[in-house]
Amino acid sequence: MNMKYLSMILFALFSLNGVSQDMPVYEIFDKNGESVTYEAMIQSLELADVTLFGELHNNPVSHWMEYEVTASLHEKHGENLVLGAEMFEADQQVLLDEYLNGLVSEDKFEADARLWPNYKTDYKPLLNFAKENGLQFVAANIPRRYASVVFKGGFEALEALSDIAKSAIAPLPVKYDPELPGYAAMMKMGGRGMPAHANPNLPKAQAIKDATMAHFIAKYMTDESKFIHYNGAYHSDNYEGIMWYLQKLNPDYQIKTISTVVQSDVTILEESNTGVADFIIVVDENLTGSY
């Protein structure tokens, strides 16, 4: 579906403050649980060097809001705005650039790229926004096969990779703090179908993704750049993950985070969701997912 058409539909249904005449669908809160307007959020994001937009991958409000925030920041920053995403892996950057620069057709790009199943509805509009406006789009994530290497053998297993392979991941050795609450929680939960504490490499596989995304965000930053990065909320919630690594790379970065959560009541921010990000988009839990 054309994103501009989708935006018109969603705008008519929700309005920018997230409330229709009869039923609230979403609302925006700051980290303290105070309701804020879309315009106030944009004014704050405008001052950031990096905006980490934490989405729920199947949430249509997340994807609509990503597009709207990107368009609003583009109005502020023009060609200095850089886009990047978890959904594209670093070894795809050449193909991504070829598509953005018109060297590869859309059909060829989509045939050759390793695209997420919801690419056409949820990420293609963002990529085409970059293409239409001459903006860089960074393939920021580690190739999945190398994250699997870490899951099986820890960070040290990456040393066996070739120099070309290593160019698609964060520089080694990778800093890692297993006591960060997000990583510690992964150990307590275990993995899919596994008992807790089953594999100490599980949070390391998460960390190598976070470190790699931070690395490529920083790589494409200049003194004039303003970067918006799209990632699963768990990669930036609670000011951890990507943000932790970005702060290690450059403590002077001004970083703002957005998270998306679902609640039965969108008119207040539940205590468990307070403080997870600078801005929290609360979506009605009954809203149908995008897939």
C-alpha 162/C-alpha 277 separation (Å) is 37
Q: Which residues pair with 51 in a beta bridge?
A: 228, 256
Q: What is the pLDDT of residue 197?
A: 55
Reduced to 3 states (helix: H, G, I; strand: E, B; else coil), residue 94 is helix
User: Is residue 192 pLDDT above 90, yes or no?
Assistant: no
Side chain identity at residue 8, one-letter code: M
Q: What is the pLDDT of residue 9?
A: 45
Q: What is the pLDDT of residue 5?
A: 40
Side chain identity at residue 16, one-letter code: L
Q: What is the pLDDT of residue 157?
A: 98
Q: What is the pLDDT of residue 195?
A: 54
Query: pTM value?
Result: 0.91
CATH no., domain 42-261: 3.40.50.11550
C-alpha 158/C-alpha 145 separation (Å) is 11
Mean pLDDT, range 183-200, rounded to an integer: 69
Please tell me which residue, 57 or 291, carries the higher pLDDT value: 57
User: Is residue 172 pLDDT above 70, yes or no?
Assistant: yes
CA atoms within 13 A on the CB side of 105: 3
Dihedral angle, C-alpha 110, 112, 113, 118, nearest 10 °: 40
CA–CA distance from 68 to each of 7, 53, 65, 121 (Å)?
A: 8, 12, 5, 15
Reduced to 3 states (helix: H, G, I; strand: E, B; else coil), residue 175 is coil
Mean pLDDT, range 125-145, rounded to an integer: 98
